[in-house]
Amino acid sequence: MSVSLQDSGRVGLGQAVEVSEGVYAYVQPDGSWWINNTGFLVGSRGVVSVDASSTEARTRAYLETIAAVSDQPVRTLINTHHHGDHTFGNYLFSSATIVGQERSRAAIQAWGLPRSAPYWTDVEWGDVELAPPFLTFDESVTVYVDELRCEVKHLGLPAHTDNDAVVWLPERKVLFSGDLLFNGVTPFVVQGSVGGMLETLAAVERLGAEVVVPGHGPVCGPDVIGDVTSYLRFVQDVAARGVAAGVSPLEAALDTDLGEFADLLDRERIVGNLHRAYAEERGAPWGAPLDAAATLEDMVTYNGGMPLTCHA
pLDDT at 13: 79
Encode 141-157: b = buried (16+ Cβ within 10 Å), e = exposed.
bebebeebebbbbbbeb
Shortest CA distance to 299 belongs to which of 280, 278, 273, 264?
A: 273
Computed over its alpha carbons, how large is the radius of gyration of the chain?
19
pLDDT at 2: 52
Burial of 254 (0-12, 13-18, 19+ CB in 10 A): middle
- Residue ranges for the chain with pLDDT beneath 70: 1-12
Against a cut of 0.85, is the pTM above it? yes
Handedness of CA 50, 56, 58, 62 (dihedral sign): positive
Shortest CA distance to 74 belongs to which of 100, 101, 99, 94?
A: 94
Cα separation, 182 vs 30, in Å, equals: 11
E strands in 51-206: 74-78, 97-101, 135-137, 140-145, 148-153, 166-169, 174-182
Helix (H) or strand (E) holding 23: strand 23-27
Handedness of CA 137, 201, 276, 35 (dihedral sign): negative
Shortest CA distance to 178 belongs to which of 120, 217, 123, 141?
A: 217
- Asked whether 191 and 197 are in contact (CB, 8 A), the reply is no
pLDDT at 1: 55
pLDDT at 93: 98
- Asked whether 42 and 24 are in contact (CB, 8 A), the reply is yes
Write the CA distances from 258 to 186, 192, 265, 294, integer angstroms.
11, 22, 12, 22
Burial of 44 (0-12, 13-18, 19+ CB in 10 A): exposed
Cα separation, 93 vs 111, in Å, equals: 20
At residue 294, what is the residue type?
A
Terminal C-alpha separation, the chain: 26
Q: What is the pLDDT of residues 278-298, one digit of tens each?
A: 999 999 999 999 999 999 999
Tabulate helix, strand, coil % of the chain (nearest 5).
Answer: 35, 25, 45
